[in-house]
Chains A and B, each alone.
Chain A
Amino acid sequence: KNQVEQSPQSLIILEGKNCTLQCNYTVSPFSNLRWYKQDTGRGPVSLTIMTFSENTKSNGRYTATLDADTKQSSLHITASQLSDSASYICVVYDRGSTLGRLYFGRGTQLTVWP
């Protein structure tokens, strides 16, 4: 079982609408969590990092939240644009691993329609 589960698997929204993507993890001990955006045919690009002590962080129209107690993170996208169409990947760092293990979710495929 993957230690990072993302939902929904895919999502279609209309341009201008908001949406929220979820990431649940079982990685322990937890250190930090990053959200990456991957455009089709490109490599992932980091949107934001959430460390253990942080609850919320914004990066433009992207707002990430973290609840380390329930092991959940969300990525909220406000006023979506066509360019937001991409896969959003949650990546969790396991600080208990000897070599710094990263656990990847399978991503949420977001499609924004005009």
Chain B
Amino acid sequence: EADIYQTPRYLVIGTGKKITLECSQTMGHDKMYWYQQDPGMELHLIHYSYGVNSTEKGDLSSESTVSRIRTEHFPLTLESARPSHTSQYLCASVSPGLAGEEGTGELFFGEGSRLTVL
């Protein structure tokens, strides 16, 4: 079992509300990611962080913001939710990988937060 946790698992809110999706990991990983996943589609990177006080936007244009004040915590915030934000949000952290082998780190995912905006 991966030591990475997301809350809430399910959230139904009205348009215009502010929401924060929580993500915490206890593995001490520096790299963390937020992905958006829609049915039958590939995961899309929306934010990433390579360590404390490091955050960047991913490939998918997103109106959300993230913060990384502590290594273990990587919350995602939507200031004003819209129906187009309805999706599954997955948080992940990356292990260091095989010695001398770039990019071999394993992604450890949380169980996801399924957001529905009415």
Contact = CB atoms under 8 A, between A and B. Distances in A.
Most buried by A among B4, B42, B56, B112: B42
Q: In which size bucket is the chain B interface?
A: 20 to 34
Chain B contact residues, majority secondary structure: loop
A106 interface: yes
A104 B43 CA distance: 6
A106 B41 contact: yes
Interface in A61-114: 89, 91, 93-95, 99-100, 102, 104-107
A49 B106 contact: yes
A7 interface: no
A41 interface: yes
Nearest to A2: B42
B107 A46 contact: yes
Given A2-B42, A51-B101, A104-B42, A42 B111 contact: yes
A44 B107 contact: yes
A20 B21 CA distance: 36
Contacts of A41: 111-112, 114
B40 A100 contact: no
Interface residues of A, number: 27
B104 interface: yes
A45 interface: yes
A70 B9 CA distance: 40
Interface string A1-28: 0101000010000000000000000000
Contact of A106 (B40, B90, B104): B40
Interface in A22-47: 31-32, 34, 36, 41-46
A32 B104 contact: yes
B102 A4 contact: no
A42 B92 CA distance: 12
15 contacts: A31-B104, A34-B106, A42-B112, A43-B2, A43-B4, A43-B110, A43-B112, A45-B2, A45-B109, A49-B106, A89-B43, A93-B102, A100-B102, A100-B103, A105-B42
